[in-house]
Amino acid sequence: MTTYTKLELDILKILAAEHLEYQDDGEFFTEDPDGESPHIDTWILTTDGLKQGNSTIFEINNLDPKVYRGVISSLLNKGAVLIDYYSTQKSIFVDVEMIMIGISRHAFYQTKEILEARKDTQAKGEFL
């Protein structure tokens, strides 16, 4: 079992919550034939080249990008998140980069397990 820091769990909880928004049975949401890649609707932007405002994981969740970019990098190294890049047009002559992350299958179930264990422990009056 991979261990995660509190800051890593902050990111994983956000990404796992995206799954629960679309898949209310508590299972990993995917259309991937291998079942490993998260569904496209559950990915969240980390870089918005269009600068639309309130569109990245940092802006939506009031996270300091200077801190959490390193946290996301750590999660990438642990295989807990996946990253995808694409370009879109800002104008007819200007392409901008968009970067998004999604939670991996194993990290989703691990995060769910950690949160359920905390909930059980807190219900008993103990804290992790």
List pLDDT tens digits, range 59-90.
999 999 999 999 999 999 999 999 998 888 77
pLDDT score at 83: 94
pLDDT score at 121: 61
* Backbone phi, psi, residue 16, to 5°: -65, -35
Tell me the mean pLDDT in the region 95-104: 90
pLDDT score at 127: 42
In a domain, 127, yes or no: no
92 pLDDT more than 80: no
In a domain, 50, yes or no: yes
* Backbone phi, psi, residue 90, to 5°: -80, -35
**Chain CA centroid to CA 125, Å:** 29
Tell which wins on pLDDT, 9 or 92: 9
Burial of 122 (0-12, 13-18, 19+ CB in 10 A): exposed
Average model confidence (pLDDT) across the chain? 86
In a domain, 125, yes or no: no
CA gap 36, 78 in Å, rounded: 15
In a domain, 123, yes or no: no
In a domain, 53, yes or no: yes
Domain that holds residue 73: 6-118
Domain count, the chain: 1
In a domain, 54, yes or no: yes
Indicate the residue type of 76. Answer: L
